[in-house]
C-alpha cells in the first residue's frame, strides 16, 4: 500500500534533546523571537480562524522591496553588504514579487525545487557531506541524488561537481556556508563553476546561514542574479531571526523558476503567524545585528580554542556552528559531551557539529570541552 522504495529511504534525524542539557545540536538561536516580531505574532493570533494568504502576496512584495533597497543585507556582524554592492544593485537587481517564493522553511523550498526541475530518475548534484536533507528530499521526489565528496579542507569541490554533471542532471545545490563544515566558496570559484555548468541545469545557492557569513570574497546576490538566469538563492528565518518553530524560508529566482516552485507548493504552506513574523522581521535589522554580532564573537572564541586544543585541524566557520572532523572518534566525543549535559550533533564516523549561541552558553561549552579534551 506504500511505495516499495520508502523502506530504504533514511529518515531525517533532528538534533537530539536531553532533559536539563544544553542543546547545541540544531543550530537554533538561543533567544526568543525579536521583541518587535513577537508583538506582530501575538497580534496575528486574533485572526487564526481565517486561512492565511495562500499567495503570501504582502510578504513576497516586501521581500522584493527589501532586497531591492538593501541588496539583501541581513546585518551580519562587521559586514555591511552580503547581498551585493550598490553599484551592482543599480545595474539590475530589480526584483518583483514574481521573483520571490516563500515556503514552510527552506527545506520545503528545497523539495519544491527538486519537484519543479526533476522528473523521476533525473539527477540532483550536491557536495557531501552537506545538508543531510538533500539526498532524502531527492529520493522523496523520485530524483537520483549524486553526492560529491568535499575537498580535504572540507570545502565544496566545485570542479568535481562539474565533472559529475551528466545529461540527466537537472539541479545542483551549493550550500554556502556549508552545513555542517561552515566553509564557503569564493566568488571567483563560483563564477568559474558557473562557466562550466550547462544553462539547462538549475544551480541553487543555499544560504541558510548568510547572516553569520563574514567572508568578503563570496558570491553576492546581486551579482549572481544579474549574471545567471539559471541561479536561485534560498534563505531562511529559522536561524538568526529565531523563527525555527514557525518555519519560514524564501527563494529568490527568475520568474519562470519561481512560478514552477510555487506550482508544486502545498496550499497554505506558510501559516499566518509565519507571514506576520516575516513582515515584522524585515523591519528589525538593528535588533538582529546585536544578536548576530554576539554569535560571531562566540564562534570565533570556540574556533580559536579548538584550533589550539583539538587533535584535528579546525577550519574557520562562517555559520553559527563549528565542525570537528574527528572521523571514528566522533561518537566518543559526542558521548563525553552528553555525560556533561552538552548535546551536539554527531555524524557517526565523520565528525561533530557544535552550535554556537551566546556568551553564557559558550562559557559553559568551553568549560566542558576542557574537561573532555582527551576526546578531541
CA nearest to 284, candidates 242, 247, 251: 242
CATH number for region 35-72+88-283 = 3.40.640.10
Instruction: Tell me the C-alpha distance between 369 and 354, whole Å.
Output: 11
User: Could you tell me where in the chain the CATH 3.40.640.10 domains are found?
Assistant: 35-72+88-283
Distance CA 98, CA 196 (A): 28
| Model pTM score | 0.93
Torsion sign, CA atoms 264, 268, 269, 270: positive
Question: E strands along 257-358, which residues?
Answer: 321-324, 342-343, 345-347, 351-355
- Among the four given CATH numbers 1.10.1040.10, 3.20.20.70, 3.40.50.300, 3.90.1150.10, the one describing domain 18-30+285-375: 3.90.1150.10
For CATH 3.90.1150.10, the residue range(s) in the chain are 18-30+285-375
pLDDT at 92 > cutoff 70: no
pLDDT band, very low/low/confident/very high, at 71 (cuts 50, 70, 90): low
Report the C-alpha gap between 23 and 25 in whole angstroms. Answer: 6
- Give the model confidence (pLDDT) of 246-291 as tens digits: 999 999 999 999 999 999 999 999 999 999 999 999 988 778 888 9
pLDDT band at residue 85, thresholds of 50, 70 and 90?
very low
Per the prediction, the chain carries an average pLDDT of 92
Determine the distance from the C-alpha atom of residue 191 to the mean position of all C-alpha atoms in its chain, rounded to a whole number.
Answer: 21
Convert the pLDDT of each residue in 48-64 to its tens digit. 999 999 999 999 999 99
Amino acid at each position: 500500500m506504500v511505495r516499495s522504495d520508502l523502506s530504504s529511504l533514511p529518515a531525517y534525524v533532528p538534533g537530539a534533546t536531553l532533559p536539563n542539557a544544553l542543546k547545541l545540536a540544531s543550530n537554533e538561536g538561543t533567544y526568543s523571537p525579536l521583541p518587535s516580531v513577537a508583538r506582530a505574532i501575538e497580534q496575528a493570533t486574533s485572526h487564526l480562524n481565517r486561512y492565511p494568504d495562500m499567495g503570501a502576496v504582502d510578504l513576497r512584495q516586501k521581500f522584493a522591496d527589501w532586497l531591492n533597497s538593501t541588496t539583501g543585507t541581513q546585518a551580519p556582524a562587521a559586514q555591511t553588504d552580503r547581498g551585493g554592492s550598490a553599484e551592482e544593485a543599480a545595474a539590475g537587481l530589480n526584483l518583483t514579487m514574481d521573483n520571490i517564493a516563500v515556503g514552510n522553511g527552506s527545506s520545503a523550498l528545497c523539495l519544491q525545487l527538486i519537484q519543479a526541475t526533476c522528473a523521476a530518475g533525473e539527477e540532483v548534484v550536491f557536495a557531501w557531506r552537506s545538508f543531510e536533507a538533500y539526498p532524502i528530499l531527492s529520493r522523496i521526489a523520485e530524483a537520483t541524488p549524486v553526492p560529491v565528496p568535499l575537498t580535504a579542507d572540507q570545502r565544496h569541490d566545485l570542479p568535481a561537481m562539474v565533472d559529475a554533471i551528466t545529461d540527466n542532471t537537472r539541479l545542483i545545490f551549493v550550500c554556502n556556508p556549508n552545513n555542517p563544515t561552515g566553509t564557503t566558496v569564493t566568488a571567483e570559484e563560483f563564477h568559474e563553476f558557473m562557466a562550466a555548468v550547462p544553462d539547462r541545469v538549475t544551480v541553487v545557492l543555499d544560504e541558510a546561514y548568510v547572516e553569520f557569513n563574514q567572508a568578503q570574497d563570496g558570491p553576492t546576490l546581486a551579482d549572481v542574479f544579474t549574471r545567471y538566469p539559471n541561479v536561485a538563492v534560498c534563505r531562511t528565518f529559522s536561524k538568526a531571526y529565531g523563527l525555527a518553530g514557525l518555519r519560514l524560508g524564501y527563494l529568490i529566482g527568475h520568474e519562470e523558476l519561481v512560478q514552477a516552485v510555487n506550482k508544486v507548493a502545498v496550499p497554505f504552506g506558510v501559516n499566518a503567524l509565519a507571514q506576520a513574523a516575516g513582515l515584522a522581521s524585515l523591519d528589525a535589522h538593528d535588533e538582529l545585528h546585536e544578536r548576530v554580532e554576539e554569535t560571531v564573537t562566540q564562534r570565533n572564541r570556540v574556533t580559536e580554542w579548538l584550533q589550539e586544543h583539538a587533535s584535528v585541524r579546525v577550519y574557520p566557520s562562517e555559520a553559527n556552528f563549528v565542525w570537528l572532523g574527528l572521523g571514528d572518534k566522533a561518537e566518543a566525543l559526542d558521548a563525553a559531551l552528553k555525560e556533561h549535559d552538552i548535546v551536539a550533533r554527531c555524524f557517526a564516523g565523520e565528525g561533530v557539529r557544535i552550535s554556537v549561541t551566546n556568551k553564557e552558553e559558550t562559557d559553559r561549552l568551553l568549560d566542558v570541552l576542557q574537561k573532555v579534551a582527551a576526546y578531541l
